[in-house]
Chains A and B, each alone.
Chain A
Amino acid sequence: MMDATVRTGRPPRLPVLAHGIAATVLVGLYVTLFLEAESQSAVLGLLAVGAAAAVVAARSGVGTRVIEVLEHHPVAMGLLAAVLVLMETWLFAERHFVLLMITTYLLYVTVGLGLTIQFGYAGTLNFAGASFYGVGSYTAAVLTAVPGFPPLLAIPAGGLVAAVCGSLLVAPVLRTRGHYAAVVSIAFALLFKTFLEVNEVLGGPQGLLVGSLSVAGYDFAAPLRPWPGTEWSFYVHHVLAALLLALFAYAVARRIEHSWLGLAMDAVRMDEIAAACFGVGIERTKVVAFVWGNMLIGMAGALYATMVGFIAPNNFTFADSLIFLSILLLGGLGSRPGLLVAAAVVVFLPEKLQLIQEYRFLLFSALVLVMLMFRPEGLVPRPPRGYPGGGGGP
């Protein structure tokens, strides 16, 4: 056979990793400058530079190379990404606000990956992302208040409760076409927030205090003293925790996509009839996607709650759910690389550009609308599926 002409192996390691390292360094530099930028004109200038660089990367094929590396060398790139986040954390170790932004970014990436599994892969539209995030948060609030409960367990517990809620809610409608599940999730989003507001056990509109995380008596809410005379923000702990969670979520999403299960999800999303004729269990596939998506979303929510220490119904509105979905649609549905970019746009942009802060819901909806009309594949279209052992992929 014509093995030589068919690409089934990985691209050669060295030049490929060189691309990865170069990309990481450049991104790191850019992010540092961006986070440092104070004046609005500096932010706008950096945005222009970033946009231009993105266009050049896309046109010259460099972008494709970077995506190739990302898809074919997940472990190396995961380590590089971790180093990047750690570098930024170290650079901004004393600045609460910057670290909060970085953590928020990582949590949004986690949520986005959960939604990607649900909607990007299996095609089940979830308009209640913020609500399941909220389920995780409230679970953490309740559990950390229980004396003797190990706080760290609140994170997986948040994911578990969100997953159970989601499967109870949506399992009955998964048999039917997409828009029914969509409406059920909208109804749940509205129900959830109204419920929290009128319910007194969970604090009503005033919300609840959440206990902090701790490991063996080491409190995540206390400032970090790496060596005498230096005091780092307590958010450093949360950046680390969120980083681990995001890497875990990324690995889960990637492994799902690069598998027969991922193929089945795509098949179910695009044509249920053909999928059924080739043995794909439609409901099972959707339920697996929905449950695991919510698991990730709920874990992110629980971590968020323990970080901010105080949650209220207003943190989990329908508008927030739409923001989560916007990330997917901007980045490119089902595209993990796109998600990483779009989450950065959605999280960092309103925080750094005060003039759009107030208008962010309006702005992002308009942006998504334009995207759906003119570039439905998103900023970074989803790369082709790779398979374990190195087959396929971009």
Chain B
Amino acid sequence: MIAPLLDVRGLTVRFGGVVALDGLELDVRPREILGLIGPNGSGKTTCFNVITGLLRPDAGRVIFAGDDITGSTPQEIYRRGIARTFQRSRLYLELSVFDNVALGNGKRLDAGFLTTLLRRRRLARQFAATLAETRALLDVFAPALIDRLWEPVARLPMIDRRRIEICRALVGRPRLLLLDEPSAGMTEEEMRELMDDLLVVRERYGNLAIVLIEHEMGVIERVTDRCVVLNYGRKIAEGDYRSVARDPEVRSAYLGTDA
């Protein structure tokens, strides 16, 4: 058994009287693609928010690469190598494609005040490097955008925004990528393309693990190595897609709320 990259133990989050996560146990192994599925409101996004430090859990631990990161700030967690996308796109619509992607590279960029004012050459070098990486990523995910690098994101269609958001998460070379419903607003074909692109990048980066929240079961079936099913903040099933799809509890959870 390989040590997990991410180990979530007994995670509990309450909003007032509502229990969003109830003793959740979850592990992500290096280089695997894990599908996180479950009906609406089952705690998937809350789980991402705790892992990335946006929410403090009421109980439980999050261990990443052997270190306890429970209660760390989002900034620290990003620097350790966890990056994410958001269910509702959180791109900076007024900023350019490049600005948006470059933001994801923050851990390798110097935003110190003295550097900003006095060491312009250093900034120019970092700019050139970030530009090259941005282009390389766009070359995989959205080659057409290389020509539109300086345009505000607001002018681009939703599908391009999704791709840019993924580039922003990837440019900092994370070890764990959390994707929150990337397929929203995409056709199945576009989603398939996106997942193929992700696999390309995973090969290139060597050790990238991905957790994918997704409602399109076709996508889950095709790309994930393993699935975890949540309901009412608890894990109700785990295993490869075929086995969890057959699980009676999973079926009743979906039928009971969604169907």
By a CB distance below 8 angstroms, the chain A residues around B131 are 8, 391
Question: Chain A residues with Cβ under 8 A from B146's Cβ?
Answer: 1-2, 6
CA distance A362 to B74 in the complex (A): 45
Q: Is the CB of B127 within 8 A of A391?
A: yes
B3 within 8 Å of A (CB atoms): no
Please encode chain B, from 87 to 130, with 1 for each CB lying within 8 Å of some chain A CB and 0 for all others.
00011101110110011101101111101110011011111100
Contacts of B106 in A (CB 8 A): 260, 264, 278-280
- In chain A, what residue has the closest Cβ to B151? A384
- Tell me if B63 counts as interface (CB < 8 A to partner A): no
Check if A43 is an interface residue, CB within 8 A of chain B: no
Taking a contact as CB atoms closer than 8 A, the residue among B74, B92, B110 that contacts A266 in the complex is B92
Taking a contact as CB atoms under 8 Å apart, the answer to whether B103 and A288 are in contact is no
In the assembled complex, B168 has its CB within 8 A of some CB on chain A = yes
Interface: B252 (CB within 8 A): no
A73 at the binding interface (Cβ < 8 Å): no
A276: chain B residues within 8 A (beta carbon): 53-54, 73-75
Are B78 and A270 within 8 A (Cβ)?
no
Interface of B is mostly: helix
Residues of A within 8 A of B103 (CB): 263-264, 267, 274-275, 278, 280
Which residues B34-63 have CB closer than 8 A to chain A?
52-54
Q: Does B226 contact A (CB under 8 A)?
A: no
Most interface-central of B73, B109, B116, B131 (chain A CB within 10 A):
B116
Chain B residues in 8 Å Cβ range of A146: none
The closest CB in chain A to the CB of B171 belongs to: A278
A220 to chain B, nearest CB (A): 28
Q: Which residues of B contact A264 (CB under 8 A)?
A: 103, 106, 111
Residues 128-152 (chain A) with a chain B CB within 8 angstroms: none
How many B residues, CB 8 Å from partner? 50
Q: Is the CB of A384 within 8 A of B111?
A: no
**Contact A261 B113, CB 8 Å, known A5-B147, A388-B123, A391-B131:** yes
The docked-state distance in angstroms from the alpha carbon of A292 to that of B149 is 31
Residue among A259, A261, A288, A392 with most chain B CB within 10 A: A259
Which A residues lie within 8 Å of B92 (CB)? 266-267, 270-271, 274
Q: Which of A295-312 contact B (CB under 8 A)?
A: none
In contact, B116 and A274 (Cβ under 8 angstroms): no
Bound-complex Cα distance A274 to B101 (A)? 12
B84 within 8 A of A: yes
A280 B75 Cβ-Cβ under 8 A:
yes
Can you name 28 A-B residue pairings with CB atoms under 8 Å? A6-B146, A6-B149, A252-B117, A255-B117, A259-B123, A260-B102, A261-B111, A261-B113, A263-B111, A264-B111, A266-B95, A267-B92, A270-B94, A271-B90, A273-B54, A276-B75, A277-B78, A278-B103, A279-B75, A280-B106, A288-B113, A384-B150, A384-B152, A385-B96, A385-B99, A388-B120, A389-B127, A392-B99
Write the residues of chain A forming the contact surface with B, with a CB cutoff of 8 angstroms.
Answer: 1-2, 5-8, 252, 255-256, 259-264, 266-267, 270-271, 273-281, 285, 288, 292, 384-385, 387-389, 391-393
